[in-house]
Amino acid sequence: MSEQLIFKKGAPGRKAYSLPALDVPEVELQGLLPKELIKDTPLNLPEVSEIELIRHFTNLSRLNYGVDLGFYPLGSCTMKYNPKVNEEAAKTPGLMNAHPLQPEQLSQGALRMMYELEGFLKEIGGVDRVSLQPVAGAHGELTGLLVIRAYHEAHGNPRHKVIIPDSAHGTNPASAALVGYEAVVIKSSKEGLVDVEELKKVLDTETAAVMLTNPNTLGLFEKDIAEISRLAHDAGAFMYMDGANLNALLGIVRPGDMGFDVVHFNLHKTFSTPHGGGGPGAGPIGVSEKLTPFIPVPTVEKDGDRYYLDYNRPKSVGSVHAFYGNFGVLVRAYTYIKKMGAKGLREVSENAVLNANYIKKRLQDYYYIPNNVPCMHECVFSAKYQKAKGVHSWDIAKRLQDYGFHPPTVNFPLIVEEAIMIEPTETEPKETLDSFCDAMIAIAKEVETNPEIVKNAPHTTVVRRLDEALAVKKPNLRWKK
């Protein structure tokens, strides 16, 4: 099964659209646009009929795997079920077809939704204010670090470094660099946690922020977090929390209560908005009171019964999006929080953590666990045993596809050799977890008896392993006639 490129389909003169006839007097184009700028070659876009178009993209969708088709335990990605009511809510005409520059008095529903969502996130994060503007996790990191920089600059010294543990997501150091900070990486302890002594060695008055993920990328709670926060604050640095793993903490412990000054919320992870094959997401940031004056404009404010956009915030760092962020994603997350309620949100984290520990227990006799303590919402194994047979975590990921599962995250975090990072989320029934574990165990046995079948996997997918080196050596990044 494969699908030809759309450019190879159709025939000259075919079309999949209709437009109304021109109902104003037609003027020669040369009279309207500069002659030398009028396009004189046709656009090389497809010419297909509607049925060809629909079959093309429908067939392509069948070459793709999503949460609606099956288990998707990608660690640090929180591939939970995306409730359909979210999608329906986002299609509400007054939300989907509202123009961002229409007057405030005609946008009260949208502004109220944003105001209330900010309220929910403030409560979940234990923070003073939330900016809904960043549209992805990394965009939230950029924004949060800009806010921190704005604070330091306003206090006379921007400082020059951000301390990041070696287990961090790659976006953390990349975001620090984009804000003009040096990323100083500290080695994790044997337990896979922040090594407080290592931190002390580099933490000083030139430190702008300490950037952590909690639970960290090994799925472990940073138990020394209160002390780490105290040390950072004593040095005048801020605590930044990468909220990618917030699904473990809803109603259990709040970032603000742990001493974090900034946290970004990945609404496309914890708050059930779909990942869309790589976006759109949303990465609102919550901040502590000290940082509130510096968050992006506009904010949504309320005056009596009236909601409005406030651009008049002189200390604000600016804007990171042309408008107010990914509003359509905010609608979905808002719908989700209203649907779950406080009790439901807590059950999310309890069951996410339960499911991860269950998988950890079921697989621990077959795969090496670098840190065998109770995990939070995800568990990290190493394919160390399998490596001895010449099989890598990447091979196991590929073999899982033959069993009908999307693989977990592999080769991350970088500090675990041959990492396999499994995040089941709370939305999976026990039977699914069991059949996934059965598949993982079967693969571990295959490694013993027939490693070649694992090394050459996948065998049953629409394509076999792709030659990624060739894709770089002979770049083919667009179709040409």
Partner 1 sequence: MEYIPNTANDQKEMLNTIGVSSVEELFSNIPPDLRLKRDLNIPDELSEFELLKYVSTLGGMNAHTGEYVPFLGGGAYDHFIPSVVPHIVSRSEFYTAYTPYQAEMSQGVLQTIYEYQTMICELTGMEVSNASMYDGASAMAEAALMAARITKRDEIVISSAINPRYRKVLNTYLFGIKLPVKTIEWNNGITDIERLSRAISDKTAVVVIQYPNFFGCVEDIKTIIELAHRSGALAVIVTDPIALGLLKSPGELGADIVVGEGQPLGIPLNYGGPYLGFFATKMEQVRKMPGRIVGATVDAEGKSGYCLTFQTREQHIKRERATSNICTNEALVALTATVYMAAMGKQGLRDVANLCVQKTAYAKQRIGELKGYSIPFTSPVFKEFVVKTPVSPKKIQEKLISEKILGGLDLGAYYPELENHLLFCVTEKRTREEIDRLIAVLRK
Closest CA to 122 of 305, 300, 383: 300
Cβ–Cβ under 8 Å, residues 161 and 208 = yes
Residue 379 contacts partner 1 per CB under 8 A: no
**Closest CB 53 distance from partner 1, rounded Å:** 6
Looking at 93-101, 232-240, 379-387, 441-449, which segment touches partner 1 (CB under 8 A)?
93-101
- Taking alpha carbons only, the member of 311, 285, 267 closest to residue 127 is 285
- The token pair at 280 is 């759109």
Using alpha carbons only, how large is the chain's radius of gyration in Å?
Answer: 25
User: Which of residues 206, 293, 385, 461 is near partner 1 by CB under 8 A?
Assistant: 461
Burial class from Cβ neighbours inside 10 Å (0-12, 13-18, 19+) for residue 12 reads exposed
Q: Minimum CB separation from partner 1 for residue 384, in Å? A: 22
Positions 145 through 164 that interact with partner 1 (CB under 8 A):
145-146, 149-150
- In the complex with partner 1, which residue's Cβ is closer, 311 or 448? 311
Mask for 431-450, x = binds partner 1 (CB under 8 A): --------------------
Is residue 11 a contact point for partner 1 (CB under 8 A)? no
Q: In the numeric block, which tokens belong to residue 226?
A: 């209160």
Separation of alpha carbons 76 and 411, rounded Å: 12
Closest to partner 1 by CB, 201 or 470: 470
> For residue 110, what are its two tokens?
């949208």
For partner 1, the binding residue among 163, 260, 284, 398 (CB under 8 A) is 398
* Burial (Cβ within 10 Å: 0-12, 13-18, ≥19) of residue 4: exposed
Task: Draw the binding track, 105-144, toward partner 1 (x: CB under 8 A; -: no contact).
Answer: -xxxxx-xx------x--xx-x--------xxxxx-xx--
| 175 in contact with partner 1 (CB under 8 A) | yes
Site residues for partner 1, 404-423, by CB under 8 A, read 406-407, 412
Please list, residue by residue across 33-63, b when 16 or more beta carbons sit within 10 angstroms of its beta carbon and e when fewer do.
eeeeeeeeeeeeebbbeeebbeebeeeeeee
**Hey, which residues between 187 and 216 contact partner 1 (CB under 8 A)?**
none
The enclosing H or E element of 365 equals none
* Residue from the set 159, 254, 264, 455 that interacts with partner 1 by CB under 8 A: 254
- Provide the minimum distance between the beta carbon of 213 and partner 1 in the complex, in angstroms, as a whole number: 14
Residue with tokens 């950029």: 142
The answer to whether the Cα torsion of 461, 462, 467, 472 is positive or negative is negative
Per CB under 8 A, contacts with partner 1 among 214-253 are: 220-221, 223, 225-226, 250-253
Sites for partner 1 among residues 312-371 (CB under 8 A): 317-329, 331, 335, 337-348, 350-351, 353-355, 357-358, 360-362
Selected range binding partner 1 among 61-69, 195-203, 384-392, 447-455, rule: CB under 8 A? 61-69
